[in-house]
Amino acid sequence: MKTVAGLKMTLRGSVLVLLLSTIAVLVAACGADATPTAVPTATATPDPDAIVPEWQIAYNKVLKAGKEEGEVVIVMGGSASRNFGPRFEAFEQETGIKVLAVTGRGSAQVEKFKAEREASLYTADIWMTGVTSTNHAKAEGIVGPFDTSALLLPAVAEENWLDGHYWFADSGSRDTTLTFCASPTTAFSYNTELAGDAVASMTSYWDLLDGRFAGQMVGTIPWEPGQTNSDFYINVPALGEDFITKFILESDVEWVADGQQAVDLLANGAKSVFVYMGNATQDIDDLEAEGLPVKNHFGQGFAEGGVLSVGGTCSLAMFDTPAHPNAMQVFLNWWNSPENLHAAQAITSDQSLHTGVLTNNLPEQYIRAPGMFFPEMDDTIVGNVGLVFNQQLAEGAGLR
């Protein structure tokens, strides 16, 4: 009986709830319109100029015009063009603008484009060789002051660079050769099987000349553009002109014009030490990674310290009269972005000067340390004095 009574009470409660719900619905219906009027929502008309940042509007305009121009022409050294080929392909894919790289030795490039200027021809946009050749191009009026207003993207703004400013490696006015990376310079390279023990006992650059490597050194010609070692040697009191003179004239180095030839001689064991390397540092790193007995040395632990350098793949300049001004501007913004600079430094092992670029893809020896000698950025040092001294020395000895 209790069970039945409980069941009856449950049913009665359900009926009561249903009845009350029905009454509530009817009351609401009687007090409302049969067809409620929708309240319109105000929709603001977008103002493109107010919403899109000014830099974006300007960049979009330049990008559109650059695509119409179709290509950007970059003057480079041979090794730089090979190294950066993958980055140029990425630029082409992302922007739709083709990269045409004009390659050759820096000194030859200067003569080529000097002749073009004299004939009122303007075929290129960006100069991307070593600092020495860029200074020469600057002196000949081929490249002009770098217009930093061309850098439109917030990611490449001046405050994003080391010490809060853009870096220029050209001597004098320091306004032409925009520098995007700099790393410790290789003092020399060596064959680890032939010279490993001798190198391990070195404590000074002078040890290169003490006879332990007699007849076993090869180097690229030190009186040709592209060498920065002597700018270091000549400005360090413990080395100076005396060290350079002994190095070039008295050390029995086999001087060759082609850096690849020197690399091959070292890797094959025909020579044990490679000095005055130019742009061959990366080649040595690549061969070491492949298991060959070669290694770069950065003067770690040497009494005279180490040196930083921009090298042959860390700077660029603008032609004074570019053939494709808009495509050039697109490239300058893209190239100096932290994303590209991070990828580029993984190729060359040159640490970026952009503070937004991580060093997680660099070998430890290529990361800058405080207090390193940086001749290309020291206003108290006259650029290329080492090269000029080398040239005078070679001429006096009948080598040039």
Verify that 88 and 138 share a domain, yes or no.
yes
- Res. 263: pLDDT tops 70: yes
- Res. 50: pLDDT tops 80: no
CA angle 382, 367, 260 (to 5 degrees): 75
Across the chain, mean pLDDT equals: 86
Q: Establish if 18 belongs to a structural domain.
A: no
Q: Establish if 230 belongs to a structural domain.
A: yes
- Res. 142: pLDDT tops 70: yes
* 165-222 tens-digit pLDDT: 999 998 778 999 999 999 888 899 999 999 999 999 999 999 999 999 999 999 999 9
Verify that 342 and 258 share a domain, yes or no.
no
The per-residue pLDDT for 79 is: 66
The per-residue pLDDT for 307 is: 85
Mapping DSSP to helix (H, G, I), strand (E, B) and coil, where does residue 284 land?
A: helix
Helices (H), 236-310: 240-250, 259-267, 281-289
Residue 15: Cβ-neighbour burial (10 angstroms; 0-12, 13-18, 19+)? exposed
Verify that 174 and 70 share a domain, yes or no.
yes
Per-residue b or e along 192-205, where b marks 16 or more CB atoms closer than 10 Å to that residue's CB: bebbeebbeebebb
- Bridge partners for 307 per DSSP: 373
Verify that 97 and 203 share a domain, yes or no.
no
Secondary structure percentages of the chain, helix, strand, coil, to 5: 50, 15, 40
Verify that 195 and 268 share a domain, yes or no.
yes
| Position with higher pLDDT, 234 vs 267 | 267
Q: CATH code at 106? A: 3.40.190.10
The per-residue pLDDT for 309 is: 84
The per-residue pLDDT for 237 is: 87
Among candidates 123, 73, 71, which has minimal Cα distance to 96? 71
Verify that 179 and 63 share a domain, yes or no.
yes
User: What DSSP state is assigned to residue 151?
Assistant: -
Verify that 89 and 133 share a domain, yes or no.
yes
Structural domain of residue 291, as residue ranges? Answer: 186-306+390-396
Report the distance separating Cα 216 and Cα 204, nearest Å: 18
Domain count, the chain: 2
Q: Establish if 45 belongs to a structural domain.
A: no
Of all residues in the chain, what percent carry a pLDDT higher than 90? Answer: 62
Verify that 297 and 203 share a domain, yes or no.
yes
The per-residue pLDDT for 46 is: 53
Verify that 109 and 174 share a domain, yes or no.
yes
Mapping DSSP to helix (H, G, I), strand (E, B) and coil, where does residue 227 land?
A: coil
**Secondary structure element (H or E) that encloses residue 106, with its range:** helix 106-118
Angle between helices 259-267 and 281-289 (to 10 degrees): 30
* 153-169 tens-digit pLDDT: 999 999 999 999 999 99
Write out the two tokens for 124: 């290129």
**Secondary structure element (H or E) that encloses residue 78, with its range:** helix 78-83
Verify that 326 and 276 share a domain, yes or no.
no
Averaged pLDDT, 252-277: 94
Q: Establish if 46 belongs to a structural domain.
A: no
Verify that 171 and 58 share a domain, yes or no.
yes
- Res. 36: pLDDT tops 50: no
0.75 surpassed by pTM: no
- Res. 110: pLDDT tops 50: yes
Verify that 66 and 133 share a domain, yes or no.
yes
Q: Per-residue confidence at 229, pLDDT binned at 50, 70, 90?
A: confident
The per-residue pLDDT for 224 is: 87
